[in-house]
Structure 1
Amino acid sequence: MISLYIELKGLEKRLAVLQDGKLVYYRTASSDDAGQQGSYYIGRIDSVHSGINAAFVEIGEEKKGYLTKQKTVKFAESDHPNKKDIAPSKFLPQGQRILVQVEKEAHGQKGAVLTNLVEIAGVSLVYMPFGQYCAVSKKIPDLIREDLRTAVSSWLTGQEGVVVRTDAANRSLHDLQLELENLREQYQELQKKAQQEKREGLLQPVPLFWKDLQYWISQSSNGECYSDDASFLKQLPLGEGWTKTWHHGKESLFTKYDLHSSEEKVFQKQVWLSNGGSISIEHTEAMTVVDVNTARQVKNRNAEQAFEETNLLAAKEVSKQLLLRDVSGMVVIDFINMKSQSSRQRVLQTLKDQVEKDEKHVMVYPFNELGCVMLTRKRTKPMWYETHLERYSHETGFGWRKSAHASAYSLDRAIRDHIASIETEDVQIKVDSATWENFVGKDKGYLMSIEKDYQVTLHPIIEDREAPYYEIFVTM
């Protein structure tokens, strides 16, 4: 049974997916996550660079977006035999307004990666107005896959393209054709909206967690969905086998359904295995490192067998943690050293089989001479530690701690849960200045909204501290 929990009230939005009662997927977003993957923008080509065959595009965000000539409609429509050698300015005229979609979110000093070849994603289909091909999920059995390819291809016109998702195998051709027509209409509406918009900036955001939810809804024909936003819950494309529950109490959704203990597991460094072994997960600026540790007692057993058993369990757990924590980029796994080549091969194959189930593309490389395996997982957005932690220096070097805006998220939830548990009109808070500044919002907008919604007055006592801190210590 799949259970979806979508908390949209408060500064930080949260999505938790439980499978048979266990947390398998966790994502967060902030209220101003407009530039998330999949959002549509009206942009203006700011500067064109022949050396990288790309342009930087002004999209109304802090950083300009990056758009290559290969990701433009003009390039896709061109039938010139040597179009790869043509200057990018022919496809990306400086100053031109252009409809773009975010492929990869802004990160660090880099702006968002954009495409002019926009897509409209549905539950079972992804519509590509200029795709020119029909791709069907390899997870669908061969006979069904070819039948779907033939049917869907016959519905396409001109340069249209479609990606047929795994979920399509469980739907009728009539339903799929209706979905395709609906996606076409959405694209036409998007074009009209783009023509009417005069300024660069966000044209149409993708609803928070939309792609994540589409993925999980497609994994099962039945399940349960909980949210504290009735309108969002209503628009979710859930099948008849799904139930919807609207949470409208004062306490947060995660508190109501006791999800905090499960949520904490996402941030734990050490994860225990069923045989007493463990894996330790460390994030660095360059990569994520996973260290596999053997079970405590192996004296009376065949050591090689014990090491293989632990490594096999670790391979399965690593694949789960990649999905749960949304780890991306380079990952190095330091398995327990095994002498047997066949043991190494079994562990490697287990890891490959497990990551096949991942929603993102994962490339696994063979064992190296040190007994380590490297893999890469597609990056589309910053990882949680990059958005929730900050690096700081101390006497013995550097460390990581909760950032001020992450502390503000925690403060927000603590205040709302406190108000829900105790009837009060006044709340006093000790808090550091950075956390409070992140909490109150621009022009104190969020502070005013929470005081209005909950009929309370918040009284901050600002303290000068180096690290983020808060304490709700008196209710008057």
Structure 2
Amino acid sequence: MNKEIIINSSASQNRVAITEDGNLVDFFVDHPEKQRMVGDIYLGKVARVLPGIRAAFIDIGLKHDAFLHFSDIGERTEALQGIFDDDDEVDDEIENGQTQNQLDENLSPTSTLEIARPDLPKENDLKEKSIPRLKKGEELLIQIIKEPVKDKGVRVTSSISLPGRFCVLLPMDNKIGVSKKINDYKERKRLRKIARGIIPKDCGLIIRTAAKDQTEEALSGDLKYLVKSWNEIQNIAKKSTPPALLYKDLSTTISVIRDLFTPDVSKVFVDSKKLWKEIKNYLEFIQPELVDRIELYKEEVPIFEAFRIEEQIKTLMGRKVPLPSGGHIIIEHTEAMVVIDVNSGRYAAKKEQELNSLKTDLEASREIARQLRLRDIGGLIVVDFIDLEDEKNRKKIYDELKKEFKKDRAKTALLPMTEFGLMQITRERIRENIVQSMTEVCPYCLGTGLLTKKSNLIHEIEHWLKRYKLQGKHNFLTLKVHPSLGEKLKQGFISILTKFQLKYFVRIKLVEVEKISPQKFQFSISKTGEDITDEIS
């Protein structure tokens, strides 16, 4: 399998695509106006403590206060507060017998799994957890673990962790863990021994998957950089007044290189000389042997077109995704969940309905897993598969999805297919999905995807004129509408607008304005220009 990373840089954004044999499998966008926040460390102040929802809100200087659930208040919180006075999935075999649950290959090692209710942990996770008492106005060191989504603020944790290329530093901790993805027992033992030898005082350490087969010097160099960063954070914290940003994590582009540029990636192509140098300098510092795989793209054809990325992004943005046999899936975003519908399309005309349905559902399973990963869709997902009568066939779909989700860095959980062909899935959500980050709500339909019919708008105009006849005093009015509605008002031998004037004894001057919403109209007094649309009730 040929795995490549293609990076396109422009004045407005950086885009990173990861391909396997030419097929897009991961896509990241770095917006200057909306920079990545996961991993950033703040000195905050407790704004509110709400025991009823087992959470506190922390003022960190953003539009919305940060959400700190009691389950995200680590045992190290009090030790971390003491400084003011003067990615990895890890196995259960940790030095002090406790579990460190962090995702290895994600862009942040501080992720939390969302099951059923993405915003709240299971009750069992809270039963025997020691929770430090928080007081309003108290200073607190916190780290962002989830980006803001719509009207929700960021989610934070008080368990600080600093990710590097090969390891994750856990300040004020004493845990040592090795990524589960390193299967070789001897290698795990070697890395654990190295970790014991290089771990600084009052710190814990997680060895990441990328550390496999690396030397002690490489791990030690990576750790020194993290320790230096932690010391700088402490010094800034002592001098700062909350709310204050203490540490800014790497940009999306560089974090992809840090976390996803593994030895199985054959090449990294970059079309920006400045970014190429930045990536090269970063790699020379942390892993020099990979520098030769960075290549500056100099061709005239845009890099995303040359690698067929642009055409795959268009499919990524659409709600309809085709399947090989002629069927398709429809992806719809709602407030509570993402709903995916599987349709057989023209393939339904074939014989043996059960086998046809099974084949389409299997294709859909593979594509759904790919699309969730590609679009970075998180939270609750409900899939409506084509109905299967045989229980064994329903089990095949479940097994196929489980197999495909093993390729996903984000944590997922799914329930078996119901008799109605529905399957419930939860996927870890850390940031807005790609569609949300690259689009904005339509100012005309306000996100509904529907526009009021022109006949209904004309009815509303007439209804307004009826009320104006009872309340209004002026006989000369100006009506501003979008040209599409204006065209409808002027149609007919005797236009609709003329009929209104004759019926309600008022002179109306029609003005067509491109900038006005097609769903709105505006009445004003012709002589003064005063807008009276909302005055008539």
State the TM-score, normalizing by the size of structure 1: 0.74
Selected match of 1:240 from 276, 289, 302:
289
* Equivalent position of 2:500 in the other structure: none
Is 1:126 the counterpart of 2:168 in the alignment? yes
Q: Are the equivalent residues in 1 in contact too, given 2:43–2:140 (CA < 8 A)?
A: yes
Shift of 1:200: 2.2
The residue correspondences of 1:26-105 to structure 2 (distance < 5 A) are: 26-34=27-35, 36-69=37-70, 70-72=72-74, 73-74=76-77, 90=133, 92-105=134-147
Task: Decide whether aligned partners of structure 1 residues 8 and 95 sit closer, same or farther in structure 2, where only a CA change above 3 A counts.
Answer: farther
Task: Decide whether aligned partners of structure 1 residues 85 and 99 sit closer, same or farther in structure 2, where only a CA change above 3 A counts.
Answer: closer
2:16, 2:233 → 1: CA distance? 27
The residue correspondences of 1:411-426 to structure 2 (distance < 5 A) are: none
Structure 1 counterpart of 2:337, one-letter code: M
CA offsets per residue over residues 228-276 of structure 1, 9 Å max, x none? 2335323443653453244689997646766432321210222222222
CA offsets per residue over residues 268-296 of structure 1, 9 Å max, x none? 22222222222221212221111222262
Q: Are the equivalent residues in 1 in contact too, given 2:7–2:268 (CA < 8 A)?
A: no
Task: Decide whether aligned partners of structure 1 residues 185 and 35 sit closer, same or farther in structure 2, where only a CA change above 3 A counts.
Answer: same
* Equivalent position of 1:377 in the other structure: 427
Can you give the 5+ residue segments of structure 2 that lack an aligned partner in the other structure? 82-125, 452-512, 519-537
Q: Are the equivalent residues in 2 in contact too, given 1:222–1:240 (CA < 8 A)?
A: no
Shift of 1:319: 1.0
Is 1:176 the counterpart of 2:219 in the alignment? yes
* Equivalent position of 1:389 in the other structure: 440
* Equivalent position of 1:213 in the other structure: 257
* Equivalent position of 1:260 in the other structure: 310
The residue correspondences of 1:150-229 to structure 2 (distance < 5 A) are: 150-198=193-241, 200-209=243-252, 210-218=254-262, 220=264, 222-228=266-272, 229=274
**Greater CA radius of gyration, 1 or 2?**
2
1:264, 1:400 → 2: CA distance? 22
Q: Are the equivalent residues in 2 in contact too, given 1:392–1:399 (CA < 8 A)?
A: no
1:226, 1:64 → 2: CA distance? 37
Q: Are the equivalent residues in 2 in contact too, given 1:331–1:376 (CA < 8 A)?
A: yes
* Equivalent position of 2:372 in the other structure: 322
Q: Are the equivalent residues in 2 in contact too, given 1:392–1:400 (CA < 8 A)?
A: no
Can you give the 5+ residue segments of structure 1 that lack an aligned partner in the other structure? 402-461, 468-476
Shift of 1:400: 7.7
Q: Are the equivalent residues in 2 in contact too, given 1:221–1:239 (CA < 8 A)?
A: no
The residue correspondences of 1:461-472 to structure 2 (distance < 5 A) are: 464-466=515-517
Q: CA RMSD in A?
A: 3.4
1:249, 1:301 → 2: CA distance? 50
SS in 2 for 1:222: strand
Structure 2 counterpart of 1:74, one-letter code: T
Is 1:284 the counterpart of 2:340 in the alignment? no
1:159, 1:318 → 2: CA distance? 44
Q: Which moved more, 1:317-326 or 1:129-138?
A: 129-138
1:83, 1:377 → 2: CA distance? 24
2:304, 2:361 → 1: CA distance? 34
Task: Decide whether aligned partners of structure 1 residues 76 and 371 sit closer, same or farther in structure 2, where only a CA change above 3 A counts.
Answer: farther
Q: Are the equivalent residues in 1 in contact too, given 2:267–2:295 (CA < 8 A)?
A: no
Q: Are the equivalent residues in 2 in contact too, given 1:55–1:67 (CA < 8 A)?
A: yes
Task: Decide whether aligned partners of structure 1 residues 292 and 85 sit closer, same or farther in structure 2, where only a CA change above 3 A counts.
Answer: closer
Shift of 1:35: 6.0
* Equivalent position of 2:14 in the other structure: 13
Shift of 1:157: 4.9
Shift of 1:341: 1.5
Q: Are the equivalent residues in 1 in contact too, given 2:327–2:347 (CA < 8 A)?
A: no
* Equivalent position of 1:312 in the other structure: 362
SS in 2 for 1:48: strand
How many residue pairs are counted as aligned between the two chains? Answer: 402
Shift of 1:393: 6.7
Q: Are the equivalent residues in 2 in contact too, given 1:24–1:323 (CA < 8 A)?
A: yes
Q: Are the equivalent residues in 2 in contact too, given 1:222–1:239 (CA < 8 A)?
A: no
2:205, 2:412 → 1: CA distance? 23
2:127, 2:335 → 1: CA distance? 38
SS in 1 for 2:325: coil
1:259, 1:87 → 2: CA distance? 48
Shift of 1:128: 1.3
1:75, 1:375 → 2: CA distance? 37
Task: Decide whether aligned partners of structure 1 residues 373 and 85 sit closer, same or farther in structure 2, where only a CA change above 3 A counts.
Answer: closer
Is 1:117 the counterpart of 2:159 in the alignment? yes
Q: Which moved more, 1:289-298 or 1:18-27?
A: 289-298
Task: Decide whether aligned partners of structure 1 residues 219 and 381 sit closer, same or farther in structure 2, where only a CA change above 3 A counts.
Answer: farther
Structure 1 counterpart of 2:73, one-letter code: K
1:361, 1:318 → 2: CA distance? 15
Is 1:368 the counterpart of 2:406 in the alignment? no
SS in 2 for 1:385: helix
State the TM-score, normalizing by the size of structure 2: 0.66
1:127, 1:400 → 2: CA distance? 50
Is 1:339 the counterpart of 2:341 in the alignment? no
CA offsets per residue over residues 188-223 of structure 1, 9 Å max, x none? 222223223345233332222144333321362532
Task: Decide whether aligned partners of structure 1 residues 249 and 305 sit closer, same or farther in structure 2, where only a CA change above 3 A counts.
Answer: closer
Structure 2 counterpart of 1:187, one-letter code: W
CA offsets per residue over residues 130-176 of structure 1, 9 Å max, x none? 44323322222141334433442454355432332222224234422
Structure 2 counterpart of 1:185, one-letter code: K
* Equivalent position of 2:150 in the other structure: 108
Shift of 1:321: 0.7
Q: Which moved more, 1:213-222 or 1:118-127?
A: 213-222
2:167, 2:77 → 1: CA distance? 24
SS in 2 for 1:275: coil
Task: Decide whether aligned partners of structure 1 residues 9 and 341 sit closer, same or farther in structure 2, where only a CA change above 3 A counts.
Answer: same
Q: Are the equivalent residues in 2 in contact too, given 1:166–1:218 (CA < 8 A)?
A: no
CA offsets per residue over residues 31-90 of structure 1, 9 Å max, x none? 133461111222222233333443322211111112245525335789xxx9968775x3
Q: Are the equivalent residues in 1 in contact too, given 2:267–2:294 (CA < 8 A)?
A: no
2:364, 2:353 → 1: CA distance? 16
Task: Decide whether aligned partners of structure 1 residues 316 and 132 sit closer, same or farther in structure 2, where only a CA change above 3 A counts.
Answer: farther
Q: Are the equivalent residues in 2 in contact too, given 1:316–1:351 (CA < 8 A)?
A: yes
2:332, 2:282 → 1: CA distance? 36
Shift of 1:318: 1.0
SS in 2 for 1:38: coil
* Equivalent position of 1:452 in the other structure: none
Q: Structure 1 or 2: larger strand share?
A: 1
1:85, 1:123 → 2: CA distance? 31
Q: Are the equivalent residues in 1 in contact too, given 2:171–2:202 (CA < 8 A)?
A: yes
Shift of 1:306: 2.4
